[in-house]
Amino acid sequence: MNKMFAIVGVTNYLLVAFLNAFTDLGHKIIIQNTIFKIYDGEMQIILTAIINAMILFPFIMMFSPSGFLADKFAKHSIMKYASFVGVIITLLITFSYYQGWFFVAFGFTFLLALQSAIYSPAKYGYIKELVGEKFITQGNGAIQAVTTVAILGGIVFYSAFFEAMVGDEFTNSQEILQHIAPLGWFLVLGSLIEFFAASRLPNKMMAQSKKRFNVRKYLSGYYLYKNLKIIKRKPEIFEAIIFLSLLWSITQVVLAIFGEYAKSNLGITNAMYVQGVMALSGFGIVTGSFIASSFSKYYINTGMIAIGAFGVTVSLFIIPLSSSIISLIVLFFIFGVSTAFMLVPLNAYIQHLSPNVHLGTVLAGNNFIQNIFMVSFLGLTTLFAYLGMDGEILFYMMGFVGIFLMYKVLKRYLIMTFWTVLNLLFSLGFKFRYIGLENVPLSGGVLLLGNHVSWIDWLILQIPIKRRINFMMDKEIYNYKYLKTTLKKGEVIPISPKSFKDGFKDASKRLRDAKVVAIYPEGEISSDGELGKFQRGYELLDTSYDGAIVPYFIDGMFGSFFSRYKKNQKKSFFTRREVTLRFLHPISKSTDAEELQKIIQAMKDDI
């Protein structure tokens, strides 16, 4: 991640994103806390849902125009001019505070959201242009963390000042707004600094687009139809957008109902406490963003998505059972971490799969579909509240939505989830370091050959490689009834002394199909840490495939719990074992076993 920050413009871009979220959130908090002070019960839920819907509607309205702007013009220019408009809007908001015009200020929430809707596709599309494919996941992790810190900062800052200035002294919205009016100048100051920072962003647009916007086509719905077709061209993109939409819908409902739940079920009347508990989900998002980025440093790790969906769902079912602030703090933190596990890889995946020429359109469509979902969920929340359902019931309803989301995500990313869970578990005891990863080809057939020193060498090999490895395994282990289904789904190649030719024939076919195959030439795990005699079996492989052999050497696993030699294991429980895997540059497919052993022995001797 440090290398990403060395890119010119990254720091400025993150500052722009921070201030944009901080300012937007500040006004929302002031209005939301005013509602909290003045209204109770179903009216509180309804007004909170309405203000959230006012923030969402512009993203639906501006789908086609915002996507067009982000694809037509340089994204840094859109951010600059949109932030200037933000300065004007915050000045008008501040004026309405001083006049005590609650419903006017309430309405300006829509205008501020309209500015954000135009801003958003350019802001998120700029990540890919600024940091490139190499850092796309880290870039999304950073923007998610920074935005969340801004939201947290806004919640704490504006809620603290709001409570200090208002307390329980006022009984109507006009008096409250006039008393907190000086807070409006902080909104204006944030917008001014944002505009200055946006004006200094570098232009990353490669070529000027010739697109033209036709108002009649927009009003007739033609652009909507066309742009939705673009989004649905790649099912992976559309599915990812649906997953994000369900996640954001759940979070919107939680935000809308928690104030009423805390007030009715826990007797909390201080807005600072309510916002503070929800702020813990923000701390969780920051933490989860860094974890998700760490586990995606080699490629976009979609396995984190299902883990996140599981955490979100479990949290939703436990929150209504909690009766103390401490337990709620812990649960909202877990909810936030789980949310980030989904947000970071899904956003990165959408950007990665989207062609640059349509990136703005896809991201605007992402906003459009998400907000259709969120507005629908908030509408249902308002209806259920009107019918007398309380916050506790609505939490359970969102839990069942979470179950559905978890099922769909697992169905889509099951294999990656399996590998990610293993990665997470083994990372607690091991610190894996990879050298020469660039030597593993990104396409074509690849035969990985190296030493065999532990029972988890297969996991160590797979972690940094995006392409799924087809391992060769002893047929007796493969046929074990509790493992066979999983191993078959993992495309393991069984081999035995009686049918070894069939095994190598299968491996040859997979190499011709441009897959990655891994074989342990020693045939067994080393019992002394030295290289055993390399068997000639792999020489039976058909070398007509388009690819090469990549030798590797694993160092640091000998003597561990997973090796055959376990003596003298004097390692603290809290100390992770350092393991290094070195990949050599590709060598000829005709390299025999004796020559290969010398090559890998030389790698071992160089340590």
Local mean pLDDT, 10-residue blocks, the chain (607 residues): 77 89 85 76 73 77 78 85 91 91 85 85 83 82 84 79 74 80 91 92 71 71 76 90 93 80 70 70 86 87 94 93 83 92 91 81 81 83 76 88 95 90 90 93 93 92 91 84 80 82 89 93 87 88 90 91 69 74 93 92 87
Instruction: Determine the Cα–Cα distance for residues 273 and 4; give it in Å rounded to an integer.
Output: 37
Look up tokens 């950073």; give the residue. 142
Q: E strands of 331-454, at which residues? A: 430-435, 445-450
Helix axes 303-318, 391-427, angle to 10 degrees: 140
SS3 of 549, please? strand
Instruction: Determine the Cα–Cα distance for residues 450 and 551; give it in Å rounded to an integer.
Output: 6
Neighbours of 161 (CB within 10 A): 18
* Predicted pLDDT at 185: 93
Instruction: Determine the Cα–Cα distance for residues 464 and 357; give it in Å rounded to an integer.
Output: 30
* Predicted pLDDT at 275: 65
DSSP conformation letters of 473-541: EEHHHHT-TTTHHHHHHTT-EEE-SSSHHHHHHHHHHHHHTT-EEEE-TTSS--SSSS--PPPSGGGGS
Contact 519, 472 (CB under 8 A): yes
* Predicted pLDDT at 571: 54
Neighbours of 290 (CB within 10 A): 18
SS3 of 9, please? coil
Residue range(s) in the chain whose domain bears CATH number 1.20.1250.20? 2-427
Between β-strands 430-435 and 577-583, what pairing exists: parallel, antiparallel or unpaired? parallel
Sign of the CA dihedral 39, 43, 45, 49?
A: negative
Residue 571 CB partners (closer than 8 Å, separation 6+): 577
**Cα–Cα distance list, 453 to 73, 432, 581, 592 (Å):** 55, 15, 12, 21
Annotation: CATH topology of 2-427: Growth Hormone; Chain: A; (1.20.1250)
Look up tokens 């963003």; give the residue. 289
Q: Which helix (H) or strand (E) holds 338?
A: helix 325-353
CATH number of 430-605: 3.40.1130.10
Helix/strand/coil (H/E/C) assignment for every residue in 199-238: CCCCCCCCCCCCCCCCHHHHHHCHHHHHHHHHHHCCHHHH
Q: Count the alpha carbons within 13 Å of 222 in the hemisphere toward its beta carbon.
A: 8
Residue range(s) in the chain whose domain bears CATH number 3.40.1130.10? 430-605
**For the purposes of burial, counting CB atoms within 10 Å of the CB of 481, is it exposed (0-12), middle (13-18) or buried (19 or more)?**
exposed
